[in-house]
Structure 1
Amino acid sequence: MAINDNVLIKIRQMKTSLTPVEKAVGEYILENVEEIPHLSIKNLARLTKTSDASVLRFCKTMGYPGYRSFIVSISASLGSMHEEDANPYRDIQPGDDLSTIILNISRTNSQSIEDTLQVINKSEIARAVDVLRSCRRIAFFGIGASGLVGTDAEQKFTRINKMCHTYTDGHSMLTAATLLEKGDVAIFISNSGETVEILDALEIAKKNGACLIAITKYTKSRLADQANILLSISTPEITIRSGAMGSRIAMLTVVDILFAGVASAEYQHVKKYLAKTHNIVAGKQRR
């Protein structure tokens, strides 16, 4: 289960990967969310020009066993939706003054983290922490902004003496994936979950028996389907003007959670490494 379950965020994130019928149901719900808790399954099917069975399939796609549990989640999500409407994602606009930019970027980054908490699965985090604690080595894979997230992860896990490295171009990814073995962990970082270089490396790593962890947007994707452990993020629906800012912040948050989970679980063992790395850096800063 997600840490905080918000079905409206799930629908918004998954819209592009739904079937046409599911998309019709999802779009109607998002556009008429206030009335949904008062509708029977038959009424919702009529209003969306679908069928009872189609609405039920939509509920199951969203992770709910039936219509009743889906409606309960809709009702619970309404309060947080109102908060988001008062504090929405805002894209970069031509001529924005610095005060507006400061406020909008801060809100977008904060909302990315809050929304990620709505979709990320606590049990999947626990599984990821367990395999990271016991693995022989860790390989991070990411292109562009996702590669920067991998570099941040490498820096963190190196501090607790974990053997790890980040690969950020197609050729090095293929080479690294080829050398992975059973007992190794490969963490693939991709907002879309459809980056060709990532998928090529994942296929090789899977054949070699490595444990595959995906950090990717909460939606259907080839990366999400292939991963052994799926860590979902939520990102804003804004244009390319903002680049990968929201997704990067969400991904960095997931990396921080994994690092803190491993470091906390092994604290008695890793505290000496944390102290050593802190002291050597602090010593350089005093010079």
Structure 2
Amino acid sequence: MAEVNIFFKKLIAKRKDLSKLESQVLEYILKYPNKVAELTIDEFANEIYISTATVSRTCKKLGFKGYQQLKYALDQYNLTKEDFHQGDKKNADIAEHITRFQKETEKTLAEVNPSQITRAVELLTNSNLVEFFGVGVSFPFCSDAARKLTFAGKISSARNDWDELRAVANNMKSNDLAILLSHSGETLHLMEYANILKQKQVPFILLAGTQNSYLETLADFTITAYSESFYYKDIDMSSRFSISLLMDLIIFEYIKQK
């Protein structure tokens, strides 16, 4: 899926040059590339309640001549993704998946930085409470980690309602700790929550499966797992268990030092 990743990385790299409104345009494109490819510029503008001029200006800042050229690029992206999925259908056997899982586990554990684990444990120990932030496929891993920490005696929660997560972020204090789990580091809702946490001066750790993401620029520090993007029949089958392994290491060290 290298072509797809490169396409998105080129767009993400332009984020620093965008205004707040233009960033909203980019985030919608990243979140719904298939949908945007089907919308007219007026429909797109109405979707996120901005002007067509802002949409057009953003397209140019992203390197396109205009909205139509962006739509053409998204069409090509979708074709590339479909070709990739067709390849998956032909080649995705059990042995291949086992090899992928082994690679993700072994590479993640081989590249663990003990000093980062120690730093995470220090933040965890000194915090009043811990809130986990993860949406979609990442949420069950947040719930699992919060449950383990609760049994270890640390006040900890994981919530899956987007509005509730926003309220939690707004009410956290500087002596609390947030832990964000994200495969891409570019999850739309998590970016919103991360900005709130930053404004509230709440320390937060990012456990991610991708380096150099937007969330990484906001986090107090990031621990990165090795995780490959994998789609099968339009279903995101990318694993999060390597991220969960890192969280378990932090919890093990926390319990050991109590």
Distance 1:263 1:243, change over 3 A: farther
Contact 1:233-1:250 within 8 A present in 2 as well: yes
Corresponding residue for residue 117 of structure 2: 125
CA distance in 1, matches of 2:234, 2:245: 19
Could you say what secondary structure the match of 1:149 adopts?
helix
Could you say what secondary structure the match of 2:256 adopts?
helix
Could you say what secondary structure the match of 2:158 adopts?
strand
Match of 1:147 among 139, 149, 162: 139
Corresponding residue for residue 165 of structure 1: 157
Distance 1:175 1:190, change over 3 A: same
CA distance in 1, matches of 2:91, 2:7: 31
Contact 2:230-2:238 within 8 A present in 1 as well: no
Could you say what secondary structure the match of 1:177 adopts?
helix
Match of 1:216 among 208, 218, 224: 208
Contact 2:184-2:210 within 8 A present in 1 as well: no
Contact 1:14-1:219 within 8 A present in 2 as well: no
Q: Which runs of 5+ in 1 are unaligned?
A: 1-12, 20-90, 267-287
Instruction: Please tell me whether residue 262 in structure 1 is matched to residue 245 in structure 2.
Output: no
Match of 1:190 among 164, 178, 182: 182
Match of 1:175 among 167, 170, 188: 167
CA distance in 2, matches of 1:119, 1:113: 10
Letter in 2 for 1:93: K
Larger Rg: 1 or 2? 1
Corresponding residue for residue 227 of structure 1: 219
Alpha-carbon offset, residue 167 of structure 1:
2.2
Alpha-carbon offset, residue 185 of structure 1:
0.5
Contact 2:89-2:232 within 8 A present in 1 as well: no
**TM, length-normalised to structure 1:** 0.56
Alpha-carbon offset, residue 163 of structure 1:
0.3
Instruction: Please tell me whether residue 112 in structure 1 is matched to residue 104 in structure 2.
Output: yes
Alpha-carbon offset, residue 229 of structure 1:
1.6
CA distance in 2, matches of 1:246, 1:152: 18
Q: Deviations over 1:81-106 (max 9, x none)?
A: xxxxxxxxxx963597xxx52x3333
CA distance in 1, matches of 2:125, 2:102: 29
CA distance in 2, matches of 1:154, 1:251: 14
CA distance in 2, matches of 1:231, 1:156: 19
CA distance in 1, matches of 2:193, 2:229: 28
Q: Which runs of 5+ in 2 are unaligned?
A: 12-86
Letter in 1 for 2:245: T
User: What is the number of equivalent residue pairs in this alignment?
Assistant: 179
Contact 1:116-1:234 within 8 A present in 2 as well: yes
Distance 1:186 1:238, change over 3 A: same
Residues 7-22 of structure 1: pairs in structure 2 closer than 5 A: 17=9
CA distance in 1, matches of 2:198, 2:188: 15
Letter in 1 for 2:231: T
Residues 231-242 of structure 1: pairs in structure 2 closer than 5 A: 231-241=223-233
CA distance in 2, matches of 1:127, 1:244: 32
CA distance in 1, matches of 2:120, 2:6: 23
**TM, length-normalised to structure 2:** 0.62
Identity score, percent? 23
Residues 76-95 of structure 1: pairs in structure 2 closer than 5 A: 93=89
Contact 2:133-2:180 within 8 A present in 1 as well: yes
CA distance in 1, matches of 2:245, 2:117: 12
Greater RCO structure (CA 8 Å; 6+ sep):
1
Distance 1:244 1:215, change over 3 A: farther
Contact 2:231-2:238 within 8 A present in 1 as well: no
Alpha-carbon offset, residue 255 of structure 1:
1.4
Alpha-carbon offset, residue 243 of structure 1:
4.9
Alpha-carbon offset, residue 186 of structure 1:
0.4
CA distance in 1, matches of 2:230, 2:10: 19
Alpha-carbon offset, residue 169 of structure 1:
3.0
